[in-house]
Chains A and B, each alone.
Chain A
Amino acid sequence: MQRRNFIVASGAAFLAGCNKISDSGWFEKLVDGAEGWHRGLHRALGAGRITMAPEFDRADVSPFFRGNGNQDIETDEYRAAQADGFANWRLEVTGLVDNPLSLSMDDIRALPQRTQITRHDCVEGWSAIGEWTGPQLSHLLEAAGVQAEAKFVVFHCADFFMRGRGENRQRVDYYESCDLDDAMHPQTIVAHQLNGEPLPIRNGAPLRMRLERQLGYKHAKYLTGIELVASLDDIAGGKGGYWEDVAGYQWYAGI
């Protein structure tokens, strides 16, 4: 009995220790370091070539593409946009660029298109395969002229979560970001089609990002703006994304 108590007590002390470490500042720094290490390893293992996410055949496409996170936006604005088939939706390219852009859906469809059949991996563990079509982000960025100080690309979205209780309840907009390496990657596209059809509402209509070398939460849906910045510190909570800000998810989601 005493031995059992000892084992239970040491187990509890171990878990309590882990929780304490989890909350400490130095552990957060260590974990951020590990995230950078993984990112460096992923690039180093590529040995100089541009590493590509696997692409699949039409036959591999999942019969239904699951939606997750926000699967609709309950605002009059979005309902109106949906009613007119997103004809007036605009994508703004702003921030550290020479020529800010304001693109209509027709402008986006008129750009050279890339179609890719890729696997979407959610941080939770599930995967689905879909065929995505849209212009490469690199085309948009070249047209806008990225300035030398720009280090990150921020994706602004129309969807949001309501957070907090009572008087503190407030709207927190979804957003995401990536570095220029991922932004200029050939598989990083602004998708307006899934499996040859306009994006379904649950998958981010009318526009969503595809960042194929990272997990699902980086693929911002309901895209309204692309902003070039030198630092992520002043954007929302400063950690580079909605889930990064509110729940401590990793900014580099290639792991």
Chain B
Amino acid sequence: MARTAKRPAKRHALSTRLWHWINAISLIILFMSGLNISNGHRRLYWGDWGFAPEQAWLEVPRFPGWATIPDYYSLSAARDWHVLFALVFGFSLLAFMIAALLNRHMQRDIFARAREWKPSNIWRDIVEHLKFNFEHGEGKYNILQKIAYSSVILVLLPLMIFTGIVMSPGGEAALPFLTDLFGGRQSARSLHFIAAWGLFAFFVLHIALVLVSGPIRQLRDMITGGKLEGDNHAAS
């Protein structure tokens, strides 16, 4: 099990660092080109179909040029960026998942143990975070970090890929059960939009926590790999 597995010498494995930065660039480009695509039809629906205001559950605001790629409205150019980086994003995530399972990063650092799910532990972790103390918890990451990272890596990112496949008619024809799973193409489009903003919220929180927990060291370690300090409490 995890305790007997050989620990890597570095705080972040090379595969984790490579994926982290490829993923960061891909997500920024996908998000900003996605906002441009959203401007193409600024309404969201549930179910299979929808095109008119009376069917919509949300009128989406127009996203300004500074928030989109390219910085003027062009559905075709935005789709070029989106389609290209969807491949970079999808395949790099797949490669990272395989690597993280093989080097046991996933099992050791991302999956929470049963005892970490105790409400008392979660509560203690919330209190520690509110005190701006981030050097606590069992193993590399504390329970709130494990929840955040696993929801992003195992839920939100795969959700972006699968709802994206539903929206592409060729992909949907190959994997038609996905459409039913998400309750129709327009539902998948709505979920794609919601999950994108979920990732944006994670991005903001992630940057904020890096800034308050030693940004230079955090950045350096995610580039060079850093050193593992101590045995168990290695988060510092």
Provide the main secondary structure of the chain B interface.
helix
Given A30-B84, A31-B83, the answer on whether A18 and B70 have CB atoms closer than 8 Å is yes
Are A215's CB and B169's CB within 8 A?
yes
Are A45's CB and B171's CB within 8 A?
yes
Q: How far is the CA of A38 from the CA of B79 in the complex (A)?
A: 13
Are A18's CB and B172's CB within 8 A?
no
Given A22-B70, A126-B41, the answer on whether A31 and B48 have CB atoms closer than 8 Å is no
Are A254's CB and B168's CB within 8 A?
yes
Are B77's CB and A22's CB within 8 A?
yes
A-B contact count (CB 8 A): 137
Are B172's CB and A54's CB within 8 A?
yes
Instruction: Answer whether residue B179 sits at the interface, using C-beta atoms and an 8 A cutoff.
Output: yes
- Give A251 Cβ to nearest chain B Cβ, in Å: 11
Q: Which residues does chain B contribute within 8 Å of A51, judged by CB atoms?
A: 170, 173-174
**A 66-112 contacts with B by CB, 8 A:** 66
- Complex A-B, nearest 10 residue pairs according to Cβ-Cβ distance, in ascending order: A254-B170, A125-B41, A42-B170, A45-B174, A126-B51, A51-B173, A124-B41, A34-B84, A124-B40, A127-B49
Chain B contact-residue range equals 35 or more
Instruction: Answer whether residue A19 sits at the interface, using C-beta atoms and an 8 A cutoff.
Output: yes
A residues contacting the other copy or chain, number (CB 8 A): 51
Contact string, B62-95, partner A, CB cutoff 8 A, digits 1/0? 0000100111001111011101101100000000
Instruction: Answer whether residue A195 sits at the interface, using C-beta atoms and an 8 A cutoff.
Output: no
Are A35's CB and B83's CB within 8 A?
yes
Are A127's CB and B51's CB within 8 A?
yes
Given A46-B174, A53-B172, A255-B168, the answer on whether A127 and B48 have CB atoms closer than 8 Å is yes
